[in-house]
Structure 1
Amino acid sequence: MYEDDEKSYDEPIERPWIVLKTTYDVETWIDHQNRAIQQLISSNKASGWGICFGLSEGGEIYLHTTSEGDVLLDVTPEAEWVAPLISAATQVDMPAGQIWALPGDRLTQLVFGLSSLIATTRLVAEHNFNMRKRY
């Protein structure tokens, strides 16, 4: 946990990214983030919790895991440049729109593949992951 996690979740706290160099590092990071999000969910009734990756070369990727364990990505138009890497890292074809649906077992490969391109992360609440759009 971060020392400021006891604060109410009024403002997202952007954190600098430290490149994860092994799959063990990635899995540890995922576990930590999952626990942090679960604590925030239990104390806040918001929906749409997830993580926003700020990319070093521009754009953002919003990541959310579904109750079934699958992964939804909302890749902003400014981050479209990273789509080929997402596809290569996860072995999933690029979608027609900006919302990606990935099997949950691809999360480690996704984060590992993106790690060197991430500049910042922050927890997000109430992101709708463009659910009204088809993915």
Structure 2
Amino acid sequence: MMYEDDEEAQDQSLARPWIVLKTTYDVEAWIDHQNRNIQYLIKGNKNNGWGICFELTEGGEIYMHTTSEGDVLLDVTPEAEWVAPLITAVTQVDAPRSQIWALPGDKLTQLVLGLSPLLAMTRLVTDHSFNLKKY
């Protein structure tokens, strides 16, 4: 999706209702779409706080950021800790001691597919401090 002006691009940071994704094709198409939206919005901006916030139906938020190497950082808020066993199950990565999870990039599709039934909303974020927290 291409944006004609900054106002429309800025509007992308608003929360969007989640539509449950049921296949890996759906997830990969969603990832590609979100990646293009983020790339368009961050043109020329070196800020590392860009990503997606998943709002969970049963409470809490998960902030997701992909690094330049393709790895995934998750900031699982204390209210969302209840979803940690699911993240471990779908990614085969043990829970960290902090609320920041570091996942290999090849786990992204499984992560989104596993979380999909538990999501209420998503929104693009522009200033989350993933890089300031220790993981």
TM-score normalised by structure 1 residue count: 0.91
Partner of 1:106 in structure 2?
Answer: 107
Conserved? CA contact 2:12–2:123, under 8 Å: no
Cα 1:21/1:55, change in 2 over 3 Å: same
After TM superposition, list the pairs within 5 Å mapping 1:1-135 onto structure 2.
Answer: 1=1, 6-7=6-7, 9=10, 12-42=13-43, 44=45, 46-129=47-130, 131-135=131-135
Aligned residues: 134
Match for 1:36: what amino acid? N
**Structure 2 counterpart SS, 1:42:** coil
Q: Residue deviations 1:31-51, cap 9 Å, x none?
A: 000000000001655431000
**Structure 2 counterpart SS, 1:84:** helix
Which structure has the highest helix share of the two? 2
Runs of 4+ in 1 over 4 A off after TM superposition: 2-6
CA RMSD of aligned residues (A): 2.0
**Structure 2 counterpart SS, 1:112:** helix
**Structure 1 counterpart SS, 2:73:** strand
**Structure 1 counterpart SS, 2:62:** strand
Q: What is the alpha-carbon distance in structure 2 between the residues aligned to residue 109 and residue 2 of structure 1? A: 27
TM-score normalised by structure 2 residue count: 0.91
Q: What is the alpha-carbon distance in structure 1 between the residues aligned to residue 22 and residue 86 of structure 2? A: 17
Structure 1: give runs of 5+ residues left out of the alignment: none
Q: What is the alpha-carbon distance in structure 2 between the residues aligned to residue 5 and residue 72 of structure 1? A: 30
Q: What is the alpha-carbon distance in structure 1 between the residues aligned to residue 46 and residue 100 of structure 2? A: 24
